[in-house]
Chains A and B, each alone.
Chain A
Amino acid sequence: MDVNDRRLRELYARWLDIATKAGFAISLGAFLLYVGGVLPAYLPVDELPRYWTLPVHRFIEVTGAPSGWAWLDELGYGDGLNLAAVALLGLVTPLCYARLLPALVAERDWLQAALAALQLAVLLAAASGVLAGAG
Protein backbone atom coordinates (compact mmCIF):
# COMPACT_ATOMS: atom_id res chain seq x y z
CA MET A 1 0.00 0.00 0.00
CA ASP A 2 2.69 2.46 0.99
CA VAL A 3 4.63 1.91 -2.26
CA ASN A 4 1.52 2.83 -4.27
CA ASP A 5 0.86 5.83 -2.03
CA ARG A 6 4.43 7.02 -2.44
CA ARG A 7 4.14 6.69 -6.23
CA LEU A 8 0.91 8.71 -6.27
CA ARG A 9 2.41 11.32 -3.96
CA GLU A 10 5.44 11.66 -6.23
CA LEU A 11 3.22 11.97 -9.31
CA TYR A 12 1.08 14.67 -7.69
CA ALA A 13 4.17 16.46 -6.33
CA ARG A 14 5.83 16.51 -9.77
CA TRP A 15 2.81 18.02 -11.51
CA LEU A 16 2.21 20.45 -8.66
CA ASP A 17 5.84 21.53 -8.74
CA ILE A 18 5.94 22.18 -12.51
CA ALA A 19 2.54 23.93 -12.63
CA THR A 20 3.31 26.12 -9.61
CA LYS A 21 6.71 27.17 -10.92
CA ALA A 22 5.13 28.00 -14.28
CA GLY A 23 2.43 30.02 -12.48
CA PHE A 24 5.08 31.87 -10.48
CA ALA A 25 7.11 32.72 -13.60
CA ILE A 26 4.04 33.86 -15.55
CA SER A 27 2.79 35.97 -12.61
CA LEU A 28 6.18 37.62 -12.17
CA GLY A 29 6.54 38.34 -15.91
CA ALA A 30 3.01 39.72 -16.20
CA PHE A 31 3.48 41.90 -13.12
CA LEU A 32 6.72 43.41 -14.42
CA LEU A 33 5.05 44.22 -17.74
CA TYR A 34 2.19 45.85 -15.78
CA VAL A 35 4.06 48.00 -13.25
CA GLY A 36 6.89 48.73 -15.69
CA GLY A 37 4.36 50.36 -18.00
CA VAL A 38 5.27 48.09 -20.94
CA LEU A 39 1.59 47.29 -21.39
CA PRO A 40 -1.15 49.92 -20.97
CA ALA A 41 -3.30 49.53 -17.83
CA TYR A 42 -7.10 49.41 -17.92
CA LEU A 43 -6.92 51.38 -14.68
CA PRO A 44 -3.58 53.28 -14.40
CA VAL A 45 -1.60 52.23 -11.31
CA ASP A 46 -1.14 55.79 -10.06
CA GLU A 47 -4.93 56.25 -10.03
CA LEU A 48 -5.60 53.04 -8.09
CA PRO A 49 -5.12 54.56 -4.60
CA ARG A 50 -8.21 56.71 -5.27
CA TYR A 51 -10.37 53.60 -5.64
CA TRP A 52 -8.89 50.69 -3.66
CA THR A 53 -10.58 51.87 -0.44
CA LEU A 54 -14.00 51.20 -2.01
CA PRO A 55 -15.98 47.96 -1.52
CA VAL A 56 -15.78 45.78 -4.60
CA HIS A 57 -19.29 46.53 -5.94
CA ARG A 58 -18.63 50.30 -5.75
CA PHE A 59 -15.15 49.84 -7.23
CA ILE A 60 -16.68 48.12 -10.28
CA GLU A 61 -19.42 50.75 -10.60
CA VAL A 62 -16.98 53.68 -10.43
CA THR A 63 -14.12 52.28 -12.52
CA GLY A 64 -16.01 50.00 -14.90
CA ALA A 65 -13.50 47.26 -14.04
CA PRO A 66 -14.40 43.84 -15.46
CA SER A 67 -16.06 41.06 -13.44
CA GLY A 68 -17.15 37.53 -14.36
CA TRP A 69 -15.32 36.38 -17.47
CA ALA A 70 -15.12 39.94 -18.88
CA TRP A 71 -11.43 40.17 -17.90
CA LEU A 72 -10.68 37.81 -20.80
CA ASP A 73 -11.45 40.74 -23.11
CA GLU A 74 -8.82 42.87 -21.32
CA LEU A 75 -5.74 40.67 -21.86
CA GLY A 76 -4.09 43.43 -23.86
CA TYR A 77 -3.96 45.52 -20.67
CA GLY A 78 -1.40 44.93 -17.92
CA ASP A 79 -4.02 44.50 -15.19
CA GLY A 80 -6.10 42.12 -17.35
CA LEU A 81 -3.03 40.02 -18.11
CA ASN A 82 -2.21 39.85 -14.39
CA LEU A 83 -5.71 38.64 -13.57
CA ALA A 84 -5.23 35.88 -16.15
CA ALA A 85 -1.92 34.92 -14.51
CA VAL A 86 -3.60 34.78 -11.09
CA ALA A 87 -6.47 32.74 -12.53
CA LEU A 88 -3.90 30.23 -13.83
CA LEU A 89 -2.95 29.53 -10.21
CA GLY A 90 -6.60 28.64 -9.63
CA LEU A 91 -6.24 25.97 -12.31
CA VAL A 92 -3.16 24.27 -10.83
CA THR A 93 -5.12 22.00 -8.48
CA PRO A 94 -7.69 20.91 -11.12
CA LEU A 95 -4.75 20.08 -13.40
CA CYS A 96 -3.09 17.94 -10.70
CA TYR A 97 -6.37 16.15 -9.94
CA ALA A 98 -6.91 15.52 -13.65
CA ARG A 99 -3.52 13.75 -13.65
CA LEU A 100 -4.15 11.95 -10.34
CA LEU A 101 -7.51 10.52 -11.40
CA PRO A 102 -6.30 8.07 -14.09
CA ALA A 103 -3.47 6.99 -11.78
CA LEU A 104 -5.99 6.12 -9.04
CA VAL A 105 -8.10 4.21 -11.59
CA ALA A 106 -4.99 2.32 -12.75
CA GLU A 107 -4.34 1.38 -9.09
CA ARG A 108 -7.99 0.17 -8.91
CA ASP A 109 -8.47 2.46 -5.92
CA TRP A 110 -12.11 3.01 -6.83
CA LEU A 111 -13.30 4.91 -3.78
CA GLN A 112 -10.47 7.44 -3.83
CA ALA A 113 -10.88 7.72 -7.64
CA ALA A 114 -14.60 8.50 -7.25
CA LEU A 115 -13.85 11.16 -4.62
CA ALA A 116 -11.12 12.69 -6.79
CA ALA A 117 -13.54 12.78 -9.76
CA LEU A 118 -16.15 14.56 -7.61
CA GLN A 119 -13.50 17.04 -6.44
CA LEU A 120 -12.50 17.73 -10.02
CA ALA A 121 -16.17 18.37 -10.91
CA VAL A 122 -16.53 20.83 -7.98
CA LEU A 123 -13.33 22.66 -8.96
CA LEU A 124 -14.37 22.94 -12.60
CA ALA A 125 -17.88 24.12 -11.63
CA ALA A 126 -16.31 26.81 -9.42
CA ALA A 127 -13.90 27.85 -12.17
CA SER A 128 -16.69 28.07 -14.73
CA GLY A 129 -18.29 30.84 -12.67
CA VAL A 130 -21.78 29.40 -13.17
CA LEU A 131 -22.30 28.85 -9.44
CA ALA A 132 -20.78 32.22 -8.52
CA GLY A 133 -23.08 34.07 -10.89
CA ALA A 134 -20.27 35.16 -13.19
CA GLY A 135 -21.33 36.89 -16.32
Chain B
Amino acid sequence: MEIGLGVNAAPWWIWPIALFAVSFAIGIVAVLAGVGGGVLFVPIVGSLFPFHLDFVRGAGLMFALAGTLAAGPPLLRAGMASLRLVVPLALVGSIGSFAGALVGLALSTELLQISLGVLIIGIAILIWRSRSADSADVEADALGALLRLEGEFRDPAAGVTIDWRTRQTLLGLAAFGAIGFVGGIFGLGAGFANVPALNLLMAAPLKVAVGSSGLLISVINSSAAWVYIHRGALLPLVVVPSILGVMLGSRIGARLLGSTPAPVVRRLVIVVMLLAGLRALSRGLGWM
Protein backbone atom coordinates (compact mmCIF):
# COMPACT_ATOMS: atom_id res chain seq x y z
CA MET B 1 0.00 0.00 0.00
CA GLU B 2 1.74 3.15 -1.15
CA ILE B 3 -0.37 5.76 0.57
CA GLY B 4 0.76 5.88 4.17
CA LEU B 5 -2.58 5.17 5.86
CA GLY B 6 -2.02 4.21 9.47
CA VAL B 7 1.72 4.78 9.21
CA ASN B 8 1.75 8.03 11.17
CA ALA B 9 -0.13 7.47 14.42
CA ALA B 10 0.90 10.82 15.96
CA PRO B 11 -1.40 13.84 15.37
CA TRP B 12 -0.19 16.07 12.51
CA TRP B 13 0.55 19.09 14.71
CA ILE B 14 3.29 17.22 16.62
CA TRP B 15 5.52 17.28 13.54
CA PRO B 16 5.71 21.05 12.87
CA ILE B 17 6.38 21.69 16.58
CA ALA B 18 9.14 19.05 16.62
CA LEU B 19 10.57 20.43 13.36
CA PHE B 20 10.69 23.95 14.81
CA ALA B 21 12.58 22.75 17.92
CA VAL B 22 15.07 20.62 15.96
CA SER B 23 15.64 23.42 13.43
CA PHE B 24 16.22 26.01 16.13
CA ALA B 25 18.93 23.86 17.74
CA ILE B 26 20.56 23.00 14.40
CA GLY B 27 20.48 26.72 13.46
CA ILE B 28 22.68 27.64 16.43
CA VAL B 29 25.17 24.80 15.92
CA ALA B 30 25.31 25.19 12.12
CA VAL B 31 26.54 28.79 12.14
CA LEU B 32 29.16 27.99 14.77
CA ALA B 33 30.40 25.08 12.65
CA GLY B 34 30.31 27.06 9.38
CA VAL B 35 27.79 24.73 7.76
CA GLY B 36 24.41 25.62 6.29
CA GLY B 37 22.67 23.14 8.54
CA GLY B 38 21.27 21.06 5.68
CA VAL B 39 24.04 18.55 6.35
CA LEU B 40 22.53 18.02 9.81
CA PHE B 41 18.89 18.68 8.92
CA VAL B 42 18.52 16.25 5.98
CA PRO B 43 19.92 13.11 7.69
CA ILE B 44 18.28 13.87 11.07
CA VAL B 45 14.82 14.74 9.71
CA GLY B 46 15.10 12.11 6.94
CA SER B 47 15.74 9.45 9.59
CA LEU B 48 13.52 10.49 12.49
CA PHE B 49 10.50 12.10 10.80
CA PRO B 50 7.91 10.38 8.59
CA PHE B 51 8.25 12.59 5.47
CA HIS B 52 9.53 11.25 2.15
CA LEU B 53 13.15 12.15 1.42
CA ASP B 54 12.08 14.32 -1.57
CA PHE B 55 10.28 16.70 0.82
CA VAL B 56 13.08 16.52 3.38
CA ARG B 57 15.67 17.51 0.76
CA GLY B 58 13.47 20.38 -0.46
CA ALA B 59 13.03 21.56 3.12
CA GLY B 60 16.77 21.04 3.76
CA LEU B 61 17.68 23.38 0.93
CA MET B 62 15.22 26.05 2.10
CA PHE B 63 16.43 25.47 5.66
CA ALA B 64 20.07 26.12 4.70
CA LEU B 65 18.98 29.11 2.61
CA ALA B 66 16.90 30.68 5.39
CA GLY B 67 19.55 30.12 8.06
CA THR B 68 22.34 31.64 6.03
CA LEU B 69 20.18 34.57 4.89
CA ALA B 70 19.46 35.34 8.55
CA ALA B 71 23.11 34.97 9.62
CA GLY B 72 24.43 37.04 6.68
CA PRO B 73 24.00 40.62 8.00
CA PRO B 74 25.89 40.14 11.31
CA LEU B 75 28.64 38.16 9.55
CA LEU B 76 29.08 40.86 6.90
CA ARG B 77 29.09 43.69 9.43
CA ALA B 78 31.71 41.89 11.56
CA GLY B 79 33.95 41.49 8.50
CA MET B 80 33.75 37.70 8.81
CA ALA B 81 32.11 37.32 5.39
CA SER B 82 33.92 38.71 2.33
CA LEU B 83 31.65 39.80 -0.53
CA ARG B 84 34.69 40.04 -2.82
CA LEU B 85 35.39 36.35 -2.19
CA VAL B 86 31.74 35.30 -2.41
CA VAL B 87 30.82 36.86 -5.78
CA PRO B 88 33.03 34.69 -8.09
CA LEU B 89 32.77 31.48 -6.03
CA ALA B 90 29.00 31.70 -5.68
CA LEU B 91 28.60 32.05 -9.44
CA VAL B 92 30.23 28.70 -10.26
CA GLY B 93 28.68 27.13 -7.15
CA SER B 94 25.13 28.13 -8.06
CA ILE B 95 25.43 26.76 -11.61
CA GLY B 96 26.66 23.45 -10.14
CA SER B 97 23.95 23.44 -7.48
CA PHE B 98 21.17 24.01 -10.00
CA ALA B 99 22.41 21.08 -12.13
CA GLY B 100 22.73 18.91 -9.00
CA ALA B 101 19.16 19.61 -7.91
CA LEU B 102 17.86 18.48 -11.31
CA VAL B 103 19.90 15.26 -11.08
CA GLY B 104 18.90 14.61 -7.44
CA LEU B 105 15.18 14.66 -8.17
CA ALA B 106 15.67 12.00 -10.85
CA LEU B 107 17.46 9.44 -8.60
CA SER B 108 15.81 6.62 -6.60
CA THR B 109 15.19 7.07 -2.86
CA GLU B 110 17.24 3.99 -1.84
CA LEU B 111 20.24 5.12 -3.88
CA LEU B 112 19.93 8.61 -2.41
CA GLN B 113 19.71 7.30 1.18
CA ILE B 114 22.78 5.09 0.72
CA SER B 115 24.75 7.87 -1.02
CA LEU B 116 23.66 10.37 1.62
CA GLY B 117 24.77 8.03 4.43
CA VAL B 118 28.18 7.43 2.82
CA LEU B 119 28.61 11.14 2.07
CA ILE B 120 27.67 12.30 5.59
CA ILE B 121 30.00 9.76 7.25
CA GLY B 122 32.79 10.77 4.84
CA ILE B 123 32.26 14.45 5.63
CA ALA B 124 32.31 13.77 9.38
CA ILE B 125 35.68 12.02 8.94
CA LEU B 126 36.90 14.92 6.75
CA ILE B 127 35.95 17.49 9.40
CA TRP B 128 37.53 15.33 12.11
CA ARG B 129 40.83 15.03 10.22
CA SER B 130 41.10 18.56 8.78
CA ARG B 131 43.13 21.23 10.48
CA SER B 132 43.02 25.00 10.11
CA ALA B 133 45.55 26.50 7.69
CA ASP B 134 47.73 29.46 8.58
CA SER B 135 46.78 32.24 6.16
CA ALA B 136 49.75 34.50 6.86
CA ASP B 137 52.47 35.03 4.24
CA VAL B 138 50.40 33.68 1.35
CA GLU B 139 51.42 34.81 -2.13
CA ALA B 140 48.37 35.73 -4.23
CA ASP B 141 48.11 33.89 -7.55
CA ALA B 142 47.42 35.74 -10.82
CA LEU B 143 43.65 35.09 -10.89
CA GLY B 144 43.26 35.92 -7.19
CA ALA B 145 45.17 39.17 -7.76
CA LEU B 146 43.02 40.00 -10.81
CA LEU B 147 39.81 39.45 -8.83
CA ARG B 148 41.39 41.19 -5.82
CA LEU B 149 40.44 38.32 -3.50
CA GLU B 150 42.00 39.84 -0.42
CA GLY B 151 40.95 41.66 2.69
CA GLU B 152 41.64 42.68 6.22
CA PHE B 153 40.03 40.85 9.11
CA ARG B 154 40.15 41.93 12.73
CA ASP B 155 39.69 38.94 15.05
CA PRO B 156 38.30 40.26 18.36
CA ALA B 157 38.82 36.92 20.15
CA ALA B 158 42.54 36.74 19.29
CA GLY B 159 43.02 40.53 19.30
CA VAL B 160 44.85 40.51 15.96
CA THR B 161 44.28 41.96 12.50
CA ILE B 162 44.99 39.63 9.58
CA ASP B 163 45.78 40.82 6.03
CA TRP B 164 44.75 37.94 3.84
CA ARG B 165 44.74 36.99 0.14
CA THR B 166 43.84 33.78 -1.68
CA ARG B 167 45.99 31.22 -3.47
CA GLN B 168 45.04 28.46 -5.99
CA THR B 169 42.04 30.49 -7.10
CA LEU B 170 41.32 28.49 -10.27
CA LEU B 171 41.34 25.24 -8.31
CA GLY B 172 39.08 26.92 -5.74
CA LEU B 173 36.58 27.89 -8.45
CA ALA B 174 36.52 24.30 -9.76
CA ALA B 175 36.03 22.98 -6.23
CA PHE B 176 33.05 25.26 -5.65
CA GLY B 177 31.41 24.08 -8.91
CA ALA B 178 31.73 20.46 -7.70
CA ILE B 179 30.61 21.27 -4.15
CA GLY B 180 27.54 23.10 -5.48
CA PHE B 181 26.63 20.07 -7.62
CA VAL B 182 26.77 17.64 -4.68
CA GLY B 183 24.89 20.07 -2.44
CA GLY B 184 22.14 20.44 -5.06
CA ILE B 185 21.70 16.65 -5.36
CA PHE B 186 21.18 16.10 -1.63
CA GLY B 187 19.54 19.38 -0.62
CA LEU B 188 22.53 20.31 1.51
CA GLY B 189 24.06 23.72 2.01
CA ALA B 190 27.49 22.14 1.47
CA GLY B 191 29.18 24.36 4.05
CA PHE B 192 31.00 21.22 5.23
CA ALA B 193 33.10 21.46 2.08
CA ASN B 194 33.09 25.26 1.67
CA VAL B 195 35.08 25.88 4.83
CA PRO B 196 37.95 23.46 4.06
CA ALA B 197 38.02 24.66 0.42
CA LEU B 198 38.27 28.30 1.50
CA ASN B 199 40.66 27.72 4.39
CA LEU B 200 42.86 24.78 3.37
CA LEU B 201 42.82 25.18 -0.41
CA MET B 202 42.54 28.96 -0.88
CA ALA B 203 44.15 30.02 2.44
CA ALA B 204 41.40 32.36 3.67
CA PRO B 205 41.57 32.80 7.48
CA LEU B 206 39.35 30.25 9.28
CA LYS B 207 36.77 32.74 10.58
CA VAL B 208 36.57 34.48 7.18
CA ALA B 209 36.11 31.00 5.64
CA VAL B 210 33.30 30.18 8.10
CA GLY B 211 31.55 33.54 7.63
CA SER B 212 31.95 33.60 3.84
CA SER B 213 30.73 29.99 3.64
CA GLY B 214 27.42 31.09 5.16
CA LEU B 215 27.00 33.89 2.64
CA LEU B 216 28.01 31.57 -0.22
CA ILE B 217 25.32 29.07 0.77
CA SER B 218 22.70 31.83 0.77
CA VAL B 219 23.56 32.65 -2.87
CA ILE B 220 24.16 29.11 -4.13
CA ASN B 221 20.99 27.62 -2.60
CA SER B 222 18.85 30.42 -4.01
CA SER B 223 19.19 28.88 -7.48
CA ALA B 224 18.70 25.22 -6.42
CA ALA B 225 15.71 26.15 -4.23
CA TRP B 226 13.76 27.11 -7.34
CA VAL B 227 14.14 23.60 -8.78
CA TYR B 228 12.41 22.18 -5.69
CA ILE B 229 9.75 24.93 -5.72
CA HIS B 230 8.90 24.31 -9.38
CA ARG B 231 8.90 20.52 -8.99
CA GLY B 232 6.34 20.73 -6.16
CA ALA B 233 8.85 19.28 -3.63
CA LEU B 234 8.13 21.80 -0.87
CA LEU B 235 5.45 20.98 1.70
CA PRO B 236 4.61 24.15 3.67
CA LEU B 237 3.92 22.13 6.83
CA VAL B 238 7.48 20.78 6.66
CA VAL B 239 9.31 23.80 5.25
CA VAL B 240 7.88 26.75 7.19
CA PRO B 241 8.43 25.53 10.80
CA SER B 242 11.95 24.48 9.74
CA ILE B 243 12.88 27.86 8.28
CA LEU B 244 11.33 29.80 11.17
CA GLY B 245 13.31 27.68 13.65
CA VAL B 246 16.60 27.99 11.81
CA MET B 247 16.23 31.74 11.22
CA LEU B 248 15.92 32.33 14.96
CA GLY B 249 18.63 29.82 15.84
CA SER B 250 21.18 31.05 13.33
CA ARG B 251 20.82 34.67 14.49
CA ILE B 252 21.88 33.48 17.93
CA GLY B 253 24.65 31.33 16.42
CA ALA B 254 26.05 34.28 14.44
CA ARG B 255 26.30 36.34 17.62
CA LEU B 256 28.04 33.50 19.48
CA LEU B 257 30.56 32.81 16.67
CA GLY B 258 33.18 35.27 17.88
CA SER B 259 33.40 33.87 21.40
CA THR B 260 32.54 30.14 21.26
CA PRO B 261 35.32 27.55 21.56
CA ALA B 262 35.37 26.02 18.08
CA PRO B 263 36.66 22.53 19.14
CA VAL B 264 33.55 21.89 21.27
CA VAL B 265 31.18 22.66 18.39
CA ARG B 266 33.35 20.70 15.99
CA ARG B 267 33.22 17.54 18.11
CA LEU B 268 29.45 17.87 18.55
CA VAL B 269 28.91 18.21 14.81
CA ILE B 270 31.10 15.16 14.08
CA VAL B 271 29.18 12.93 16.52
CA VAL B 272 25.75 14.04 15.25
CA MET B 273 26.81 13.57 11.63
CA LEU B 274 28.19 10.08 12.22
CA LEU B 275 24.96 8.98 13.91
CA ALA B 276 22.74 10.56 11.24
CA GLY B 277 24.90 9.17 8.42
CA LEU B 278 24.76 5.63 9.83
CA ARG B 279 20.99 5.86 10.15
CA ALA B 280 20.55 7.13 6.57
CA LEU B 281 22.82 4.35 5.32
CA SER B 282 20.93 1.64 7.21
CA ARG B 283 17.59 2.95 5.89
CA GLY B 284 18.91 2.93 2.35
CA LEU B 285 20.10 -0.66 2.77
CA GLY B 286 16.72 -1.67 4.22
CA TRP B 287 18.08 -2.55 7.67
CA MET B 288 15.40 -0.47 9.44
Contact = CB atoms under 8 A, between A and B. Distances in A.
B2 interface: yes
B76 A52 contact: no
Contacts of B16: 35
A56 B54 contact: yes
Binding site secondary structure of chain B? helix
Contacts, number: 208
Given A51-B3, A93-B218, A126-B98, A2 B152 contact: yes
Q: Which of A50, A53, A83, A87 has the most CB of B within 10 A?
A: A53
A86 interface: yes
Contact of A122 (B98, B235, B240): B98
A10 B91 CA distance: 21
Given A1-B148, A48-B12, A60-B232, A53 B240 contact: no
Contact size range, B: 35 or more
Interface residues of A, number: 71
B203 interface: no
Interface stretch (B21-29, B61-69, B132-140, B273-281): B61-69
Given A52-B55, A55-B109, A119-B91, 12 more contacts: A8-B83, A46-B12, A48-B235, A53-B3, A65-B232, A67-B231, A79-B236, A79-B237, A86-B240, A89-B243, A92-B218, A134-B231
12 contacts: A5-B82, A13-B76, A27-B240, A35-B16, A48-B12, A50-B3, A54-B52, A55-B52, A83-B236, A119-B91, A122-B94, A132-B226
